[in-house]
């Protein structure tokens, strides 16, 4: 209980001290800009504001979904209704990605809750990788941005499904045999140090005596706890991403050597990771880069960024043990690199 109180105290400290501090920084901007005209403070703050406007609404949606999973989806429910075979589980994860109109800001909290509820890890990982790339909003945005080259949208979806499945399969071939969630994830969720929130006194929602009103109270508790836990991460991630985007300037391609695909592909993966663009809007940026970069590097920008960026990495580190995050990150990076090289070899044939 004391650990839970410490977590709540940290959340309140963020509210009480963080918000006024941010307001003070914003108020100091004009003076800083006059004294140090070479510092792009205004541009960075505008970038942070723009990224927050993108990220916060979708993060709230993700928190609402993850809290619903925590409140109403029990381990017994998953055991009874989840596909019995891994293959069917993969299919369900991909179909969930296609049917859920959300971006990458939403998926990590839901992924954490599904893992906590004992959904098989390979299926949960496939869900994590598939949702941001193959959801309807991302498909439509890519189709709209590349209306003259529809093969880009088709390639993004096909590779998104392929990469998600391969990442999931890697966890079948080399299974994780220990708990991947951090202990503090359960502490912050329900004040207990157990491995499952089903055994928590506050959150034991399996019994028939708990009313719908009590479920709503539990749901509101999880929404509040998750949102307060993620907001410092989102703020830090958007600040770092904004600084990097200012450094890259209006033409990121000018910062990298585009003469070789072996430089352009890793460089565009780094840009996608650092810029932390929403998967519903990254296609517009990719369209502006398509004229000066190999198409394989543009495709990997659209593929890798939604699966892994600064915000998502920080959220994963917050909930999951470092060994699992490193393995997941390395697996996604390697498979996306191989997918980009495949596109480089096959693009001329497709066109």
Give pLDDT, residue 351.
42
Q: Which ranges of 73-120 would DSSP assign to H, the alpha helix?
A: 75-81, 86-99, 104-116
167 inside domain? yes
22 inside domain? no
Q: Which H/E stretch holds residue 34?
A: helix 19-35
4 close to 191: Cβ distance less than 8 angstroms: yes
- CA nearest to 280, candidates 245, 301, 303, 306: 306
Give pLDDT, residue 105.
67
Give pLDDT, residue 294.
84
156 inside domain? yes
- CA nearest to 134, candidates 80, 176, 175, 90: 90
239 inside domain? yes
Q: How far is CA 213 from the centre of its chain?
A: 31
Return the SS3 of 102. coil
Give pLDDT, residue 313.
92
Give pLDDT, residue 128.
93
User: Which residue in the block uniquely carries the two structure tokens 């697996």?
Assistant: 331
Per the structure, the complete domain to which residue 126 belongs is given by 2-15+45-350
**How many CB atoms lie under 10 A from the CB of residue 224?**
14
38 inside domain? no
Q: Where are the beta strands (DSSP E) in the chain?
A: none
28 inside domain? no
* Number of domains the chain contains: 1
* Residue count of the chain: 351
Give pLDDT, residue 205.
47
The encoded tokens of residue 324 equal 């699992």
40 inside domain? no
20 inside domain? no
**Tens-level pLDDT at each residue, the chain (351 residues):** 444 455 555 555 655 666 676 666 667 767 766 776 777 777 888 888 887 786 677 667 767 877 787 788 776 777 677 787 889 999 999 988 787 666 676 788 889 888 988 889 999 999 999 988 988 878 888 898 898 888 999 999 999 999 999 999 999 999 998 999 988 776 655 544 444 444 454 444 444 557 788 888 888 888 887 787 777 777 777 777 677 677 766 666 555 555 577 888 998 899 889 877 777 678 877 887 777 778 898 999 999 999 998 888 988 998 999 999 999 999 999 999 999 999 988 865 444
Give pLDDT, residue 280.
67
């Amino acid at each position: 209980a004391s650990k839970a109180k410490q977590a709540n105290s940290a959340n309140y400290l963020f509210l009480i001290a963080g918000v006024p501090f941010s307001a003070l920084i914003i108020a100091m901007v004009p003076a800083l800009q006059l004294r140090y005209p070479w510092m792009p403070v205004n541009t960075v703050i505008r970038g942070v504001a723009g990224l927050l406007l993108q990220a916060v609404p979708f993060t709230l949606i993700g928190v609402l979904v993850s809290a619903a999973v925590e409140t109403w989806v029990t381990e017994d429910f998953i055991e009874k209704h989840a596909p019995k075979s891994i293959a069917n589980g993969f299919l369900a994860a991909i179909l969930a990605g296609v049917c859920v109109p959300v971006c990458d800001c939403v998926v990590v909290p839901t992924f954490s809750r599904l893992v906590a509820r004992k959904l098989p890890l390979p299926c949960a990982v496939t869900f994590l990788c598939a949702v941001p790339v193959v959801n309807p909003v991302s498909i439509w945005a890519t189709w709209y941005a590349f209306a003259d080259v529809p093969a880009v949208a088709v390639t993004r979806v096909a590779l998104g499904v392929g990469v998600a499945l391969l990442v999931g399969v890697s966890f079948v071939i080399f299974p994780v045999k220990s708990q991947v969630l951090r202990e503090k994830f359960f502490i912050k969720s329900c004040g207990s140090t157990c491995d499952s929130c089903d055994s928590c006194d506050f959150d034991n929602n399996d019994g028939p005596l708990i009313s719908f009103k009590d479920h709503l109270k539990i749901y509101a508790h999880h929404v509040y706890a998750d949102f307060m836990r993620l907001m410092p991460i989102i703020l830090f991630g958007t600040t770092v991403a904004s600084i990097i985007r200012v450094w890259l300037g209006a033409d990121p391609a000018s910062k990298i050597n585009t003469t070789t695909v072996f430089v352009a592909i890793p460089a565009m993966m780094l840009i996608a990771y650092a810029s932390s663009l929403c998967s519903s809007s990254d296609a517009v940026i990719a369209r502006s880069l398509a004229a000066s970069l190999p198409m394989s590097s543009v495709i990997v920008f659209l593929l890798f960024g939604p699966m892994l960026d600064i915000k998502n990495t920080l959220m994963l580190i917050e909930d999951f043990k470092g060994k699992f995050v490193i393995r997941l990150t390395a697996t996604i990076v390697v498979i996306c690199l191989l997918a980009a090289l495949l596109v480089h070899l096959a693009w001329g044939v497709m066109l």
